[in-house]
Amino acid sequence: MRERHEFHVDSARYLDDHGKPMDDLPALAGDTGRVLAAYRNMVLTRTFDAKVIALQRTGKCGTYPSVLGHEVIGTAIGQSMAKTDVFVPYYRDQAAHMLRGVGLREMLLYWGGDERGSANWKNCPEDLPISVPIATQCCHAVGVASAMRIRGEERAVVCCVGDGGTSKGDFLESINLAGAWHLPVVFVAINNHWAISTPRSLQTGAETIAQKAISAGLPGHMVDGNDYFAISEALDTALERARGGKGATLIEAVTYRLGDHTTADDATRYRTAEDLKRAWGKDGIKRLQNWLHDNDLWDAAKEKALQADSKATVEQAVEDYLAIEAEPPTAMVDYLFETLPPALQTQRERIVSKYRGGES
Ligand SMILES: Cc1ncc(C[n+]2csc(CCOP(=O)(O)OP(=O)(O)O)c2C)c(N)n1
Ligand SMILES: [Mg+2]
């Protein structure tokens, strides 16, 4: 006798590429304030992103990973999370940080290669600061989530990871633990089709990334990450489930990385203009803008005002950022230990002798 064990992965989207509903929308679409706030955050994120790239190109900012194409996912995360939840991000989560209380100036300080931005994390609930991990953050997320469970708190963790990150052992070990211990964590695997120059098709033999959840005993959902309603609904449901003690969820949010991997990359070397053009046709910001227009919630004048407002907000943040004097090169080692170990002490002396005025 044979028994059959069946598993499935569902996928969700509500709006077509032009913003026309393909199905009845979830109730959250009726929350006009929420939807408009989301649209504003997406536009601000995109404005900020373009400006940081320009700053990097003119030597005023360090290497920066563009968030182009991820604005809808980050915005939905920032909105769905409660203040008491903890965000464990990766390096392309600017849209969520903005809604979690991280200032644009603080992000500029971080990407500018100046860690003083970390002082301002006091404004954020208890989030882990921006970092540049591939999947190590998943281990941190289950650690934070198990602390919440031990303390019996009604809180949850949201952890972001890229499609490339889901090939790593620390991601797989973390979802396994989250499943075994029923931890209050929502993993958002952001499938932007690329891991630097490695395409999604070479990343894994699995048909979907969401199905990795099955091996860990978690629900796995695939959602269109350019569909604000689909991703928000999936997050709301998964977070409620986690906070209610029902365990973890893996959401695969599908989008496309519309920019280079970072400002140190040139994606034209490994992908075609046609692919990029096709991806722009699915842009989530334009899709939501069309929907807002169709529902008489938006017009050209409002768009013009929002663009001007976003630009002014970003310009002010840049002005504040540029007004802060850069740390001397010795700052690289000065805040690591109370007493510097000998090897770092030697490095510090070299910095001081090499750079006049290197002393802080
Ligand atoms: C352990 C480790 N291996 C490799 C790298 C170099 N690296 C940085 S980002 C990246 C690609 C990650 O791709 P993905 O997880 O899909 O995220 P995306 O950048 O597409 O958002 C790689 C290989 C690294 N930082 N750390
Ligand atoms: Mg990727």
Average pLDDT over residues 261-287: 97
Of residues 118, 114, 82, 81, the one with CA closest to residue 103: 118
- 35: CB partners within 8 A, 6+ apart: 28, 29, 228, 288, 292, 297
Pairing of strands 220-224, 10-12: parallel
Average pLDDT over residues 156-170: 98
Distance CA 334, CA 348 (A): 8
What is the value of pTM for the model shown?
0.94
Catalytic residue chosen out of the listed positions 140, 155, 257, 287: 257
Residue 141 CB burial class (10 angstroms; 0-12, 13-18, ≥19): buried
The H-assigned helical ranges of 64-211 are 71-80, 94-100, 104-111, 136-151, 169-180, 200-203
Distance CA 280, CA 258 (A): 7
Question: Among 211-220, 328-337, 349-358, whose mean pLDDT is lowest?
Answer: 349-358
pLDDT tops 70 at residue 356: no
Query: Each residue of 201-254: pLDDT tens digit?
Result: 999 999 999 999 999 999 999 999 999 999 999 999 999 999 999 999 999 999
Round the average pLDDT of the chain to a whole number and report it.
94
Would you tell me how many other CB atoms lie within 10 Å of the CB of residue 234? 28
Angle at 104 (CA atoms; ends 101, 110), nearest 5 degrees: 100
Q: What is the pLDDT of residue 332?
A: 81
Q: Is 276 in the pocket of ligand 1 (CB under 6 A)?
A: no
- 226: CB partners within 8 A, 6+ apart: 69, 72, 254, 255, 282, 283, 284, 287
Residues with CB under 5 A from ligand 2 (ion): 162-163, 192, 195
- Percent of the chain whose predicted confidence (pLDDT) is above 90: 85
**d(CA 130, ligand 2 centre) in Å:** 17
Q: What is the pLDDT of residue 45?
A: 98
Of residues 168, 173, 188, 174, the one with CA closest to residue 90: 188
Neighbour-count burial for 211-229, b at 16+ CB within 10 Å, e otherwise: bbbbebebbbbbbbbbbbb
Residue spans of the domains in the chain: they are: 10-326, 327-360
**d(CA 63, ligand 1 centre) in Å:** 14
Q: How many helices (H) and strands (E) does the chain have?
A: 14, 8
| Confidence band for 359, pLDDT divided at 50, 70 and 90 | very low
Q: Is 192 in the pocket of ligand 1 (CB under 6 A)?
A: yes
pLDDT tops 60 at residue 171: yes
Query: Each residue of 78-108: pLDDT tens digit?
Result: 999 999 999 999 999 999 999 999 999 989 9
Task: Point out the ligand 1 atom lying closest to the alpha carbon of residue 161.
Answer: 15
Q: Is 208 in the pocket of ligand 1 (CB under 6 A)?
A: no
Sequence letter at residue 258: L
Query: Each residue of 4-63: pLDDT tens digit?
Result: 999 999 999 999 999 999 999 999 999 999 999 999 999 999 999 999 999 999 989 989
Q: What is the pLDDT of residue 116?
A: 55
CATH code of domain 10-326: 3.40.50.970
- Which tokens sit at 85? 């939840």
Q: Is 165 in the pocket of ligand 1 (CB under 6 A)?
A: yes
Q: Is 164 in the pocket of ligand 1 (CB under 6 A)?
A: yes
Q: What is the pLDDT of residue 271?
A: 97
Q: What is the pLDDT of residue 120?
A: 66
pLDDT tops 80 at residue 342: yes
Catalytic residue chosen out of the listed positions 270, 278, 335, 350: 270
Distance CA 137, CA 130 (A): 10
Sign of CA dihedral 101, 56, 279, 213: negative
- 359: CB partners within 8 A, 6+ apart: 328, 330, 352
Residues in the chain: 360
Task: HSE, CB side, 13 Å, CA atoms: give it for residue 341.
Answer: 3
Atom 3 of ligand 1: nearest residue by CA position: 134
Task: Point out the ligand 1 atom lying closest to the alpha carbon of residue 191.
Answer: 16
Atom 13 of ligand 1: nearest residue by CA position: 195
**d(CA 349, ligand 1 centre) in Å:** 33
Q: Name the E strands within the chain.
A: 10-12, 86-88, 157-162, 185-191, 194-195, 198-199, 220-224, 249-254
Q: Is 155 in the pocket of ligand 1 (CB under 6 A)?
A: no
Q: What is the pLDDT of residue 119?
A: 58
